[in-house]
Structure 1
Amino acid sequence: MSAPVLVFGWGNPSRGDDALGPLFVEAVEAMKLPGIECLTDFQLQVEHALDLRRRSRILFVDASGTARPPFEFQPIAAARDDSFTTHSVSPQSVLQVFEDLEGRPAPPSWLLAIRGDSWELGTAPAPSANANLRAAIAAFTAWLPDL
């Protein structure tokens, strides 16, 4: 049985700040919050649309080199884009695949883009990225009462 809220983070833990999505999910998992399921992967794929079934809310979490520090948090909607044919699928495209498969609207969804600046292979997240991660986790806990 699926939990009503899905927190889905992606990124490569071996590429510096790209680890922010999985690190965020680790922090949420450690909270052991009822009704929340956490998933991680290296990248989003169209198959992840199946993970959205039986959910009431979705939070997508990723590192971003373009987000304003410390993070950007915004609602997102299903959208057709070319990303489903590329190496990196957008959360909006995953939502669109869900709608195409299920024949109904995707659950309300948000994107949490945590600012990162360093992506070198074999490095740990930068101190600034860790500070941004802490700010994102604090914002998430403030968002929880809205669930």
Structure 2
Amino acid sequence: MTDSGRFVVFVTGNESRGDDAAGPLLLQRLEGDLPVGARVVCEFQLQVEHALELRGADLVLFIDAACGLEVPFEFAEAVGKGPVSSFSHALSPGAVLDVFRRIEGAEPPPAFVLGLRATRFELGEGLSELAADAVEAALPFTLALLEALHPDCWRKLAQAREFSSPRVGKKSAV
């Protein structure tokens, strides 16, 4: 990505719902290391309006808590190309990309999902030890992503993690 490129980070999660706070917690740890000009969108959930944030972007990162992971975090390219409900209030990263395709009539920018291992989401619960460990494990990996803001580099990292980590179902669909 060139200096004139636009990097967008979506962080979803609710700090009042146990491990759902993992994404916002990772964002807090990254704030001083985000590239100048990065656009950060921090919300409880993704909605159709978030597709507009993709306009003019060169690279996108979605960060969220993920259920069912056997490893502290997973990293994969978001593809979408599935049905998008007209009545959906909360969307997956792939669905946001599909909304962009529909409203812009063009392919969205390259987008990737960083899922953080999470096990509990009850209102008023604190962060579990597993989720706290996931944030710590993902921090150096995410810092490395920020050093190499280019989709090809990120694809190589995603492929390397895919071969070294067992894949399991997630809260956030890629």
Q: Return the TM-score normalized by structure 2.
A: 0.76
Aligned twin of 1:64: 66
Aligned twin of 1:24: 26
Distance 2:77 2:129 in 1: 28
Aligned twin of 1:36: 38
**1:110 matched to 2:109:** no
Give 1:127's aligned amino acid: E
CA contact (8 A) 2:84 2:99 kept: no
Distance 2:86 2:139 in 1: 29
- Offset at 1:112? 0.6
**1:15 matched to 2:17:** yes
Aligned twin of 1:124: 126
CA contact (8 A) 2:73 2:115 kept: yes
Q: 1:103-142 CA distances to partner (integer Å, 9 max, x unpaired)?
A: 1110000011100112121122112211101111211111
Aligned twin of 2:94: 92
> Which of 134-143 and 81-90 deviates more?
81-90
Runs of 4+ in structure 1 off by over 4 angstroms are none
Change (3 A) 1:109 1:46: same
Q: Return the TM-score normalized by structure 1.
A: 0.89
Q: Secondary structure at the match of 1:22?
A: helix
Q: Secondary structure at the match of 2:49?
A: helix
Distance 1:110 1:72 in 2: 10
Q: Secondary structure at the match of 2:102?
A: helix
Distance 2:78 2:30 in 1: 21
Give 2:148's aligned amino acid: D
Change (3 A) 1:87 1:102: closer
